[in-house]
Structure 1
């Protein structure tokens, strides 16, 4: 009996390990859904416990963190790409240096100018900016370590690290806010989760010499990735920052809750792109790459469409259940935000596919769309409706341009292949 009970945990562990190895992409997807649920739980609890005005402050800190997240994602994608190159050790050393420089600049920018940020965004304290800066010193380096795991297709390791970060953030925030530390306590939990996740990831023994390609990775290969991620920063965060700077704290907090639910679409489908990128890089044939692309598109459309329909059907129930009655006045706008984010989620898959094939059209289109969004909502922000309609128009335009470009390229390639087959047979 003792022998049976002793072997049961080992059997369960072995079974789980076997399943993870058999379908690593699926398990990463499920894991990231859990991580996103935990991160949303963090935001929902903060919104309920702190109220709209104080929630606007912590949401601003989260927005700054998300800006850093997209920079970190750029380093992660660049590392995942570099890891398959013949000169990967040199590139990894350089990327780690860039990450630490970015961390130092973030600390200086947030720490030295904390009082300026406080006045500009009408927050109650400058301390959260300093605390966030301390956490961001390690965050970019964490992106490089995660990029190594992604490029090596170590999706299990990647998933566990994301879960560790989420768990520390959620439990730490719940404890510190319950003790009365408010926005400062939530920011301490956020920075602590970053530092501990980096410490754990950096301690892994990672093999960086893997299935090398014949082509060395050049510095210029990083430019489209940087442009893509910079466009993401503008598209996903500029509206929240403008609302925080130009509208009263109550409205800013309500809009932050609206944006949080609406952005579920993007973060729920982001893992699809995370899995698509290395698989396209390593796919030997163009036909296999196309299959991966279309599967990713269909999954993204399915998830985005479902979330948008739910936001249209029960907006008041969603906002009331998640955040409380104080946030309900913007419920009728929820589906519009979800629709705009859905367009961008599909566009993001197209761009990720292009980047994996060394094509930069989508990356440059993203930066143009991001800058256009900043200009439009900075110019037309008289009401929340104006901001949302501006975003929908820009995202529809971006998706339309990318779709036309991809379809046109596919038609040209098909015609060229047909002509080549005809010439060979004749």
Structure 2
């Protein structure tokens, strides 16, 4: 094993453990909330967290954009961080304010008891977006220990803040208040990462904003695709079958997020490396981890059943390996979406929206049950993954920095040089 491989394994292990701790802490909050809140309040909290998940694509996009720029141009790290600190502050305030101002419309639409529930969602998105920028700096500069600390801080910030809010008053609104406060923990831990020490702003802010918006639209398309079957099951199945499908989705999501650390660790290399060897190695690692879960679910269905809810869901026990297979393909697609962001490959969002439409059309026009829907999802995910694997070969001229095509309006000479890179 050479030095670069050992370094990748070491950094991957650190980030993998940190993300596992983050997910366990987040699950711990959900478990406590489910026990302390009455079903109506827990349902409201689930809807609020779904709103956070959707709006958080901006933070993920900002992280990817900053990490890619630093990875491609490490010699301009100071200038990039200088720009990123300004953009992150502005974007976080815009996203948070937009969600908070939507409270008069969202509160009656989702039957929330108070406008403050959505307002606290907006407040939470401010530190989440700032933390996304900090994660991008840590990821782009390869500061894996710092990156791990931010992920752990994210998890424990949610656990401690959310539990404290629910303990004071068991309502969804109070839970969101606690989560909004706890979300500042990773920002505090990464306080030095966005310190703007440079005087020269070589990269103007507009190209970074344009890139972040484009990346956010792609990530939104991915999250729509990865959740379309959950919405179809909820609306098209009986209450009983919908519950069975939801239990299987626990394994799908677990399999999907298990190898998420691979995209985090490999992203800087994907941004720098023009060959396809790195992306194939990363995709192979994700596939290997996913197939291990598939094999385990097929060989030990009773154990898998315990992990998704127990005997009350035993009707779906023999089909759980299909849910793991669906999660495996979704995990590969997730990695390749970030590869596309690293390469600035256009058209990926359109492909993902088409994939969502295909699943929706099949489920809508044909009467398919639980197995039919999960097989449809897995097959569509497999096709999407295959297309994304060959996507760079079909578009070899994709830019690796700056805008996707052409020159962003208002870009400086330095930016135009970066766009031609």
Q: Same fold (TM over 0.5)?
A: yes
Alignment partner of 2:384 out of 387, 398, 407 = 398
1:3-34: CA deviation from partner (whole Å, max 9, x where unpaired): xxxxxxxxxxxxxxxx9999434312222222
Q: How far off its partner does 1:303 sit? A: 0.9
1:10 corresponding residue in structure 2: none
CA contact (8 A) 1:265 1:304 kept: yes
2:325 corresponding residue in structure 1: 339
CA contact (8 A) 2:131 2:186 kept: yes
The number of residue pairs the alignment matches comes to 382
CA contact (8 A) 1:48 1:323 kept: no
1:40 corresponding residue in structure 2: 27
Higher-Rg structure is: 1
1:151-187: CA deviation from partner (whole Å, max 9, x where unpaired): 2222211211111121132344456656771655544
1:189 and 1:20 mapped to 2: Cα distance?
38
2:256 corresponding residue in structure 1: 266
1:26-74: CA deviation from partner (whole Å, max 9, x where unpaired): 3122222222233334445555776988765543333322223333211
Q: How far off its partner does 1:266 sit? A: 1.9
CA contact (8 A) 1:53 1:250 kept: no
CA contact (8 A) 2:99 2:119 kept: no
1:309 and 1:53 mapped to 2: Cα distance?
37
Q: Give 3-state SS (helix, strand or coil) of 1:360's partner.
A: coil
1:108 corresponding residue in structure 2: 101
Q: How far off its partner does 1:329 sit? A: 4.8
Q: How far off its partner does 1:128 sit? A: 4.5
Q: How far off its partner does 1:274 sit? A: 1.2
1:223-270: CA deviation from partner (whole Å, max 9, x where unpaired): 652342122220233443455566677766654443233111221112
CA contact (8 A) 1:148 1:208 kept: no
CA contact (8 A) 2:83 2:203 kept: no
2:360 and 2:206 mapped to 1: Cα distance?
33
1:294-317: CA deviation from partner (whole Å, max 9, x where unpaired): 331221111111112223334454
CA contact (8 A) 2:134 2:194 kept: no
When normalised by structure 1's length, the TM-score is 0.73
Alignment partner of 1:181 out of 170, 177, 183 = 170
Q: How does 1:155-166 map to 2 (within 5 A)?
A: 155-166=144-155
2:337 corresponding residue in structure 1: 351
CA contact (8 A) 1:234 1:374 kept: no
Q: Give 3-state SS (helix, strand or coil) of 1:113's partner.
A: helix
2:36 and 2:241 mapped to 1: Cα distance?
17
Q: Give 3-state SS (helix, strand or coil) of 1:40's partner.
A: helix
When normalised by structure 2's length, the TM-score is 0.73
2:37 and 2:324 mapped to 1: Cα distance?
25
1:193 corresponding residue in structure 2: 182
CA contact (8 A) 1:117 1:126 kept: no
Q: How far off its partner does 1:105 sit? A: 0.9
CA contact (8 A) 1:60 1:244 kept: no
Q: 1:166 to 1:259 in 2, by over 3 A?
A: same
CA contact (8 A) 1:276 1:352 kept: no
CA contact (8 A) 1:320 1:327 kept: no
Q: Give 3-state SS (helix, strand or coil) of 1:263's partner.
A: helix
Structure 1 gaps of 5+ residues are 1-18, 411-426
2:59 corresponding residue in structure 1: 72
1:174-218: CA deviation from partner (whole Å, max 9, x where unpaired): 566567716555444433332333344345564677xx9999994
Alignment partner of 2:130 out of 123, 134, 141 = 141
Tell me whether 1:81 sits opposite 2:68 in the alignment: yes
Q: 1:300 to 1:154 in 2, by over 3 A?
A: same
Tell me whether 1:229 sits opposite 2:219 in the alignment: yes
CA contact (8 A) 1:231 1:368 kept: no
Structure 2 gaps of 5+ residues are 1-5, 397-421
